[in-house]
Amino acid sequence: MLESALRTLGVYRLYEGRLQKQVEGDRVPGHIGIILDGNRRWAFNQGVAEGIGHEEGANRAEELLDWCHELKIRTVTLYVLSTENLDRTPDELRELFALIEARLSRLLSDGRIDRYHVRVKAIGQMGLLPQSVRDLLSAIEEKTKDYEEHYLNIAVAYGGRAEITDMVRSVAQAVRDGKLDPQQITEQTVAERLYTSYLPNQEPDLIIRTSGEERMSGFLLWQGAYSELVFVDVFWPSFRKIDLMRAILTYQRRTRRHGR
């Protein structure tokens, strides 16, 4: 049994190494977005509590930092919690927020953030989150605000329609205050008012969704207009580095035309 497991592990490592060479030999996406889907269904299939699914999903998200650094991906946006997710039962939300708080505390002291010079920022409607979560997010953002080598965006209490609505309010306010002529509104005007406006590259080159579902669910609706989409038939807690690299290989084999 042990010999078989070691042999399987050896084959996996060889395959992983070969994939990595293929990925690094071509254009690597500068910005990827990932919709972390399938924690609860993974737990159901494993016959364990939903909380364990969320816990394992959080473990994969932490591993992802190393994978992206190794593959030289500069910007990552993770869809962690949507505004629609906030309609779940009070018990599940308490568990989710406790997990998010615990992992944010770990992130705050995670040496990789300083070692890789990662600027971390939350995007979403922060007012919908518990104060303790907001305080941790603010502390992480303050700690990393001067880093410019890598970017980690945590989409939490996020909805693409809400983001666009906030942008419209901002534009309308500027017009009402006489600071903006409606005839001068451009795509750049919009981009400057999105949650991701601080990024050097707001638009993901690649968006990955796990769990086999093939929809965006409100994720980066403006920014992802011309992103390449890859849907992976694996629940997020089971996502591996080779799944990430396969998605990147799919991206690399496509010809990006941006509507042209």
Q: What is the pLDDT along the chain (260 residues), one digit of tens a residue?
A: 545 554 566 788 888 989 999 998 889 999 999 999 999 999 999 999 999 999 999 999 999 989 999 999 999 999 999 999 999 999 999 999 999 999 999 999 999 999 999 999 999 999 999 999 999 999 999 999 999 999 999 999 999 999 999 999 999 999 999 999 999 999 999 999 999 999 999 999 999 999 999 999 999 999 999 999 999 999 999 999 999 999 999 999 998 776 66
> CA–CA separation, 101 vs 115, rounded Å?
22
Q: How far apart are CA 99 and CA 190, in angstroms?
A: 34
The structure tokens listed for 114 are 């300083």
Look at residue 156 in the predicted model and tell me its pLDDT.
97
Cα angle, residue 32 at apex, residues 31 and 38 outer, rounded to 5°: 165
Domain ranges of the chain: 27-159+205-252
123 touches 193 (CB < 8 A): no
Q: Give the pLDDT score at 230.
A: 98
Q: Which fold has domain 27-159+205-252?
A: Undecaprenyl pyrophosphate synthetase (3.40.1180)
- The contacts of residue 107 (CB under 8 Å, 6+ apart) are 113, 120, 140
Return phi, psi of residue 60, to 5°.
-65, -40
Q: Please, what is the end-to-end C-alpha distance for the chain in angstroms?
A: 55
Distance between CA atoms of residues 112 and 135, nearest Å? 21
Query: Among all chains, which residue has been given the structure tokens 């990024």?
Result: 199
Query: From the DSSP assignment, how many helices (H) and strands (E) are in the chain?
Result: 9, 6
- Helices 39-46 and 50-70 pack at an angle, to 10 degrees, of 120
Contact between 226 and 203 (Cβ < 8 Å): yes
Question: Which one-letter amino acid corresponds to residue 80?
Answer: V
Q: Are 230 and 208 in contact, with CB atoms under 8 Å apart?
A: yes
- In the chain, which ranges are E strands? 31-35, 75-82, 118-123, 150-158, 206-209, 228-231
pTM: predicted TM-score of the whole model, two decimal places: 0.93
Q: Which residues are catalytic?
A: 37, 85
For residue 131, give the H/E element and its range: helix 131-144
Q: Are the CB atoms for 140 and 217 separated by under 8 Å?
A: no
